């Protein structure tokens, strides 16, 4: 409705709606100090009257998107006896929009300034924009305020608002943080919830530390900036100062503000989307990758295009996305087969979602309903905690989420697709909109009928109408009602624009409220999903689906003026260097790469086998084995001198002092990314073959075991990562150091150990135990720790390790607990032992006495591809891990702890035997039992009794072992491994809420992990921490003791050890009796032979026949005795596995006696015959 100069306004009440919220929002964003005195109202019949003058000129005609009922601001009229005083602080410039108002005294028709709580996304901020720059007039202080906005001015004001807010936030300080991996992994009291973060820096780090622990709850709470830069608002109201608290609460309920008699400080508060932008801007590129990876695990949308707060430009996060890896299943495929990929390199159809205009409903909430199988807030929306806040600078952010089918009937869609969500009105963010328009297979366009007639909206609709994409228009209910005539005109124009799309079946329409059809959220979701399915099917049939990866999308982004993060100079240099090496690898057959490039590792496997033989075998030629070990080292050194081009180039780059540390770190990360992509490209098919073959063997279907072994070898060959190259570097060091070659090689070796120590300090894991050789390269590990001591000093260290069955979630537990990134791929899991170093803040060191934590991740026990090695490898690994750690987390999947309990028995036995053999081995590590996927409410009461019973069993075993090994003072399991059954058993809920791959991480899992982490980090209160030097000594002594122990590690548990010992004793007695019985018979026969004087040939034949018969009789007798032992022994179920072995030993003694005794008889007869003949000759001579 237009107003002329003499318009007379009558209103039944003061306006308290969205227009005043706009003003409130404006003041919030500009940090304006407002002091508001409310007008007293004098009216008849509850009405207020007054005359106001309209602005001349352009203020006469409302904007097309303007409400027909504008709000009027003007000088005080006769209806008002008190005015509102606007006091504008110095933060508003002299050329502020306020300066155009004639006079400083203005009245506002809405006295209550309420916080924005009921508007979609950035509506309030955009509307506030128009109050300042959009549709203002300047005659006698009269200002006409529209309910909608014009985008050109809103863009300008958004920049002004942003710059003012960033100044207030001190964004230069925030972006200067540049947090690295070491910063986010550092353990602080606030990260453990021992104290609240105080400074902004601490708050940001606290959010990151929780995110990397898979806890997204910090995003449910708005980030409050305590920097003493705030807005002060006078919230006094014209009521008596003597109001009671109840009266205040009552009025606050309806007026939207909690009353206070004095000015309150309102802190700067950020929307969750703004927080994510802040996090991305204050971290380095490596931390960004980690955060994005954790966000996808939490099923949060990840930002693709964000504002670069430093350069005031837009940034496309291509590099940041490179560590994302998805797994999903297609319904048409087998139950055990699936797909996996990376959105950066693998083409995935893109469905984009944009909005134009403002609505009561939330676009992001609707998108969540569409993409999620179960309720989950992937995109933040206004109904989330903190979502009601206006976004400050995350408008224009493009967020991504992925639909991942699980291969089940309940899947909403058949295959994977990407959902790209543009935050804010597309009109204000043309570059981002243009990118999405170019790359999308389907566009979801949310709009309202009222905005169609807007010229800017019309322009975009015309652009869209000329595209070839499938379009799905979703008409949502507008904030303000639209007249029927305006609605008809808008729809007519819209229909004419998209008639061609309709005829081609490329355009669909959904209305939130249609005539005769009321929709709820569920029906709206269903209809949109149906249209998406129809469009995807149509595109697939027509062969027009665009499978674009993010690398492809980045080219379009660059075309529209958006910077690409991968264009960073150091990052590009690192990529070029990595490509130079990978080009040499890509030319080779994937199965041959490790064998052709990593020559030294194969020799190290042989060397480690000889090393074990040297320690464990008694009847060996010591010099011969030692010489073979030396030969292995010499061959390794020859390989160092003639190093493969890949290894030579890798080492040259890593040690190049001309390259910056950043370039080297990017180079290493590129190498890791490339090698992981190559492995994941070739491994899945071979793994599927392996699992099928394994299942056929388990089900006793005819399968060649040799074929299984070949597949195991192929899997090992195809599994080629950065850790294998770093392992080769360790062997280069050992080959040089053990042979003590010329100076230039010594320098090379020292530089390699410095390089490895720096990597450990920068957050890369160090391989402590070689996963292929099952051996600890002590020379190399000690050298790296020596360099650590040179860098840091001989600091105190707390060692935490994890142990568990394969695929029980060990790496996931450590990654969640410490924010690490150990490999978590099921099937081809961690091999060997990897260590990562984490620093702690001084406060913790002062209380608990350690400055660093060394976290050890281990390969899973009872791995099926290592089944042929039986128990020796597992037992050696477990004894090493438990022995070296101050605390070992024993990770158990479910409630059954039988497998891990057996390993612990062997560890107890081994520790006692090692203690006897070496006085330096005096270990008493601690142990926590963690049961995964077991709800604590049920488990604690249910399992405590069985655990106490299990502990009693462990106590009995420890006592029995001590007696067997003659070790005194051992009465309980905890005398060997510290364990409190009441405090050190934990039960974890499932990691996921629902079924993967679309299931979000369970906050309860993260919370339980944090509690366990807190308990473990307090554990050293009663122990003195190790220094680096003491840790090296312990590691060396322990590994040497393990090498010397050959007997215990071959068994499954202590019962087997004792049973075998008893069986061995029985076999020894049987063989001994057998031996003596036959020997006694032979002795009698020899006496007979010595008295014989004729028929020697006949005698020999008869005695040999008799001795053979006697041996057979003895064999049957003693075989029967052994059979009786196996059938009647108490532990017969355990010893049955060795029955064939016992029979074999008996047969060996039979073979020995047959050969030996027959020779004795024959020799005795021949000797007697010769002597007899000589005697006869002598008698004849005499």
Contact in structure between 378 and 369 (CB atoms under 8 Å): no
Question: Residue 297 in 3-state DSSP?
Answer: helix
Alpha helices in 657-766, H assignment, sequence order: 661-698, 705-718, 722-739, 743-761
Of 1053, 1085, 1059, nearest to 1168 by C-alpha is 1085
Of 4, 56, 28, nearest to 161 by C-alpha is 28
Of residues 753 and 119, which shows the higher confidence score? 753
Token pair in block for residue 792 = 């840091």
Contacts of 375 (CB under 8 A, 6+ apart): none
pLDDT higher than 70, residue 756: yes
Q: What is the pLDDT of residue 429?
A: 95
> For 136-154, what is the mean pLDDT?
31
Token pair in block for residue 674 = 């490339």
Binned at pLDDT 50, 70 and 90, residue 833 comes out as very high
Quote the CA–CA distance of 449 and 457 in Å, as a whole number: 11
User: What is the gyration radius of the CA atoms in the chain, in angstroms?
Assistant: 40
Tokens 């990840």 belong to 302
Instruction: Provide the Cα torsion 488, 494, 499, 501; round to 10°.
Output: -140
Q: Which pLDDT tens digit goes with each residue over 588-598?
A: 888 889 889 99
Q: Which pLDDT tens digit goes with each residue over 1106-1116?
A: 888 888 888 89
Least confident window among 26-40, 720-734, 1027-1041, 1143-1157: 26-40
Binned at pLDDT 50, 70 and 90, residue 181 comes out as very high
Q: Which pLDDT tens digit goes with each residue over 246-286?
A: 665 655 655 544 443 333 334 467 888 989 999 999 999 99
Terminal C-alpha separation, the chain? 160
Q: What is the pLDDT of residue 87?
A: 31
Of 55, 67, 51, nearest to 130 by C-alpha is 67
- In 10 A of CB 966, how many CB atoms? 8
pLDDT higher than 90, residue 777: yes
Task: Please give the backbone phi and psi of residue 356, each rounded to the nearest 5 degrees, phi first.
Answer: -135, 125
pLDDT higher than 70, residue 1142: yes
Quote the CA–CA distance of 811 and 337 in Å, as a whole number: 23
> For 653-670, what is the mean pLDDT?
96
Binned at pLDDT 50, 70 and 90, residue 904 comes out as confident
Residue 201 CB burial class (10 angstroms; 0-12, 13-18, ≥19) = middle
Binned at pLDDT 50, 70 and 90, residue 51 comes out as very low
Least confident window among 317-326, 1008-1017, 1052-1061, 1116-1125: 1052-1061
Of 76, 361, 110, 73, nearest to 257 by C-alpha is 110
> For 560-566, what is the mean pLDDT?
96
Rounded to two decimals, the pTM is 0.78
Q: Which pLDDT tens digit goes with each residue over 183-212?
A: 999 999 989 988 888 888 888 899 999 999
Give all strands of the β-sheet with 417-425 in edge-to-edge order: 507-511, 470-475, 442-447, 350-356, 417-425, 398-403, 302-308, 313-316, 563-564
Q: What is the pLDDT of residue 96?
A: 34
Quote the CA–CA distance of 1072 and 1066 in Å, as a whole number: 10
Residues constituting the chain: 1182
> For 570-581, what is the mean pLDDT?
97
- In 10 A of CB 721, how many CB atoms? 15
> For 479-489, what is the mean pLDDT?
71
Q: What is the pLDDT of residue 337?
A: 65
Token pair in block for residue 62 = 């409302």
Compute the C-alpha angle 358/361/367, nearest 5°.
105
Report the share of the chain in percent with pLDDT over 70.
75
Quote the CA–CA distance of 1021 and 849 in Å, as a whole number: 8
Question: Residue 1022 in 3-state DSSP?
Answer: helix
Contacts of 188 (CB under 8 A, 6+ apart): 202, 205, 209, 840, 841, 843, 844
Measured in whole angstroms, how far is the alpha carbon of residue 65 from the centre of its chain? 47
Token pair in block for residue 542 = 């027509």
Q: What is the pLDDT of residue 381?
A: 86
Contact in structure between 327 and 340 (CB atoms under 8 Å): yes
Token pair in block for residue 1164 = 């005795």
C-alpha dihedral sign at 102, 106, 109, 110: positive
Q: Which pLDDT tens digit goes with each residue over 492-539?
A: 777 777 776 666 678 888 888 765 566 677 888 999 999 999 999 988
Q: What is the pLDDT of residue 259?
A: 40
Quote the CA–CA distance of 125 and 22 in Å, as a whole number: 7
Q: What is the pLDDT of residue 289?
A: 96
Mean pLDDT, all residues of the chain: 77
What domains can you pick out in the chain, each with its CATH number? 8-169+231-264 (no CATH), 272-567 (3.40.50.300), 1056-1181 (1.10.132)
Q: What is the pLDDT of residue 159?
A: 46
Quote the CA–CA distance of 5 and 51 in Å, as a whole number: 9
Q: What is the pLDDT of residue 285?
A: 96
Residue 274 CB burial class (10 angstroms; 0-12, 13-18, ≥19) = buried
Q: Which pLDDT tens digit goes with each residue over 709-722?
A: 788 888 888 889 99
Q: What is the pLDDT of residue 554?
A: 98
Least confident window among 667-681, 845-859, 870-884, 889-903: 889-903
> For 320-339, what is the mean pLDDT?
81
How many angstroms separate the Cα of 1051 from the Cα of each of 858, 883, 1137? Answer: 20, 19, 12
Quote the CA–CA distance of 425 and 155 in Å, as a whole number: 11
Binned at pLDDT 50, 70 and 90, residue 685 comes out as confident
| 256 Ramachandran zone, left/alpha/beta (phi>0; psi -120 to 50) | left
Of residues 331 and 1113, which shows the higher confidence score? 1113
Quote the CA–CA distance of 563 and 309 in Å, as a whole number: 13
Across the chain, how many H-helices and E-strands are there?
Answer: 36, 31
Binned at pLDDT 50, 70 and 90, residue 165 comes out as low
Question: Residue 666 in 3-state DSSP?
Answer: helix
Q: What is the DSSP letter of 978?
A: B
Q: What is the DSSP letter of 1000?
A: P
Task: Provide the greatest CA pair distance for the chain.
Answer: 171
Highest mean pLDDT among 97-106, 111-120, 239-248: 239-248
């Amino acid at each position: 409705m237009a107003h002329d100069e003499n318009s007379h306004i009558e209103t039944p009440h003061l306006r308290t709606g969205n227009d005043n919220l706009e003003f409130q929002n404006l003041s919030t964003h500009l940090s304006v100090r407002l002091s508001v005195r409310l007008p007293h109202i004098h009216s008849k019949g509850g009405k207020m009257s007054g005359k106001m003058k309209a602005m001349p000129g352009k203020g006469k005609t409302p904007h097309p998107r303007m409400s027909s009922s504008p709000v009027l601001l003007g000088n005080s009229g006769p209806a008002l006896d008190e005015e509102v005083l606007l006091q504008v602080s110095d933060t508003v410039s002299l050329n502020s929009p306020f300066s155009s108002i004639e006079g400083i005294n203005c009245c506002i028709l809405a006295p209550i300034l309420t916080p924005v709580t009921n508007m979609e996304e950035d509506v309030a901020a955009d509307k506030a924009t128009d109050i300042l720059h959009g549709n203002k007039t300047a005659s006698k202080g009269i200002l006409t305020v529209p309910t909608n906005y014009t985008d050109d001015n809103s863009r300008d004001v958004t920049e002004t608002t942003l710059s003012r807010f960033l100044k207030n936030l001190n964004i230069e300080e925030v972006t200067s943080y540049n947090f690295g991996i070491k910063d986010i992994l550092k353990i602080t009291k606030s990260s453990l919830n021992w104290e609240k973060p105080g400074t902004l820096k601490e708050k940001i780090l606290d959010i990151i530390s929780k995110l990397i622990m898979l806890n997204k709850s910090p995003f449910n709470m708005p980030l409050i900036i305590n920097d003493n830069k705030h807005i002060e608002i006078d919230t006094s109201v014209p009521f008596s100062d003597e109001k009671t608290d109840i009266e205040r609460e009552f009025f606050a309920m309806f007026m939207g503000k909690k009353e206070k008699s004095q000015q309150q400080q309102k802190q700067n508060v950020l929307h969750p989307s703004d927080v994510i932008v802040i996090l991305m801007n204050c971290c380095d590129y490596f931390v960004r990758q980690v955060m994005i990876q954790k966000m996808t695990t939490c099923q949060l949308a990840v930002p693709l295009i964000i504002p670069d707060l430093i350069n005031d430009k837009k940034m496309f996060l291509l590099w940041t996305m490179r560590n994302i890896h998805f797994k999903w299943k297609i319904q048409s495929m087998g139950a055990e087969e699936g797909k996996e990929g990376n959105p950066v390199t693998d083409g995935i159809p893109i469905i984009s979602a944009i909005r134009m205009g403002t609505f009561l409903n939330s676009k992001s909430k609707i998108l969540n309903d569409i993409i999620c199988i179960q309720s989950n807030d992937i995109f933040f929306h206004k109904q989330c905690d903190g979502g009601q806040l206006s976004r400050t600078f995350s408008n224009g952010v493009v967020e991504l989420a992925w639909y991942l089918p699980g291969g089940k009937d309940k899947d909403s869609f058949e295959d994977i697709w990407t959902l790209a969500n543009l935050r804010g009105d597309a009109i204000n963010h043309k570059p981002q909109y243009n990118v999405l328009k170019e790359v999308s297979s389907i566009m979801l366009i949310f709009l309202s009928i009222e905005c169609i007639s807007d010229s800017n909206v019309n322009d975009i609709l015309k652009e869209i109408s000329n595209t070839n994409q499938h379009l799905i228009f979703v008409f949502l209910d507008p904030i303000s009602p639209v007249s029927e005539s305006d609605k008809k005109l808008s729809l007519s124009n819209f229909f004419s624009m998209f008639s061609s799309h309709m005829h081609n079946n490329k355009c669909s329409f959904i209305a939130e409220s249609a005539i005769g059809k009321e929709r709820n959220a569920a029906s709206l979701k269903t209809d949109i999903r149906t249209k998406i399915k129809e469009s995807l099917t149509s595109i697939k049939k027509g062969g027009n689906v665009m499978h674009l990866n993010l690398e492809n999308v980045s080219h379009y982004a660059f075309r529209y003026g958006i910077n690409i993060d991968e264009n960073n100079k150091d990052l590009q240099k690192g990529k070029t260097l990595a490509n130079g090496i990978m080009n040499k690898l890509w030319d080779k057959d994937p199965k041959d790469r490790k064998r052709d490039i990593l020559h030294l590792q194969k020799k190290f496997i042989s060397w480690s086998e000889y090393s074990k033989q040297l320690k464990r075998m008694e009847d060996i030629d010591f010099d011969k084995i030692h010489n073979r070990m030396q030969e292995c080292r010499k061959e390794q050194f020859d390989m160092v001198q003639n190093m493969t081009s890949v290894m030579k180039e890798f080492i040259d780059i890593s040690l190049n002092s001309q390259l910056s540390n950043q370039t080297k770190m990017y180079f290493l990360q590129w190498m890791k990314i490339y090698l992981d992509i190559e492995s994941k490209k070739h491994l899945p098919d071979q793994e599927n073959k392996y699992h099928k073959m394994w299942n056929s063997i388990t089900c006793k279907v005819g399968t060649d075991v040799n074929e299984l072994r070949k597949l195991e070898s192929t899997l090992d060959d195809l599994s080629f990562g950065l850790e294998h190259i770093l392992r080769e570097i360790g062997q280069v060091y050992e080959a040089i150091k053990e042979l003590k070659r010329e100076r230039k090689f010594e320098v090379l070796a020292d530089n390699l150990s410095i390089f490895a120590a720096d990597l450990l300090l920068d957050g890369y894991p160090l391989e402590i135990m070689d996963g292929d050789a099952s051996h600890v390269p002590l020379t190399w590990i000690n050298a790296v720790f020596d360099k650590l001591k040179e860098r840091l000093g001989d600091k105190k260290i707390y060692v935490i390790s994890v142990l568990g069955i394969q695929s029980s979630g060990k790496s996931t537990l450590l990654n969640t607990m410490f924010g690490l990134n150990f490999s978590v791929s099921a099937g081809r899991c961690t091999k060997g032992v990897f260590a990562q170093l984490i620093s702690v803040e001084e406060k913790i060191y002062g209380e608990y006495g350690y400055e660093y934590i060394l976290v050890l991740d281990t390969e899973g026990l009872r791995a099926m591809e290592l089944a042929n090695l039986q128990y020796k490898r597992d037992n050696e690994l477990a004894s090493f891990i438990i022995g070296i750690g101050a605390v070992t987390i024993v990770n158990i999947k479910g409630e059954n702890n039988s497998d891990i309990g057996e390993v612990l028995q062997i560890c107890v036995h081994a520790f006692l035997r090692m203690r006897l053999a070496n006085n330096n081995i005096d270990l008493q590590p601690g142990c926590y039992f963690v049961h995964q996927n077991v709800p604590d409410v049920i488990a604690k009461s249910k399992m405590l009794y069985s655990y106490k019973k299990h502990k009693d069993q462990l106590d009995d075993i420890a006592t029995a072992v001590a007696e067997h090994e003659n070790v005194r003072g051992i009465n309980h399991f905890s005398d060997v491994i510290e364990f409190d059954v009441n405090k050190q058993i934990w039960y974890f809920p499932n990691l996921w809420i629902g079924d993967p791959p679309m299931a979000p991480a369970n906050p309860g899992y993260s919370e339980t992990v944090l509690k366990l982490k807190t308990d473990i980090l307090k554990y050293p209160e009663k122990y003195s921490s190790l220094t680096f030097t003491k840790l090296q000594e312990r590691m060396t002594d322990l590994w040497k003791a393990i090498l010397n122990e050959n007997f215990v590690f071959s068994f499954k548990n202590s019962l087997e050890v004792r049973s075998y010992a008893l069986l061995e004793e029985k076999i020894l007695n049987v063989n001994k009796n057998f031996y003596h019985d036959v020997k006694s018979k032979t002795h009698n026969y020899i006496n007979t032979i010595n008295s014989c004087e004729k028929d020697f040939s006949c005698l020999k034949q008869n005695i040999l026949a008799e001795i053979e018969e006697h041996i057979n009789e003895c064999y049957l007798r003693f075989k029967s005795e052994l059979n009786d032992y196996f059938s009647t022994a108490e532990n017969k179920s355990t010893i049955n596995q060795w029955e064939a072995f016992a029979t074999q030993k008996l047969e060996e003694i039979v073979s020995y006696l047959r050969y030996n005794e027959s020779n004795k008889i024959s020799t005795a007869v021949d000797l007697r015959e010769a002597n007899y003949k000589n005697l006869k000759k002598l008698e004849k001579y005499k």
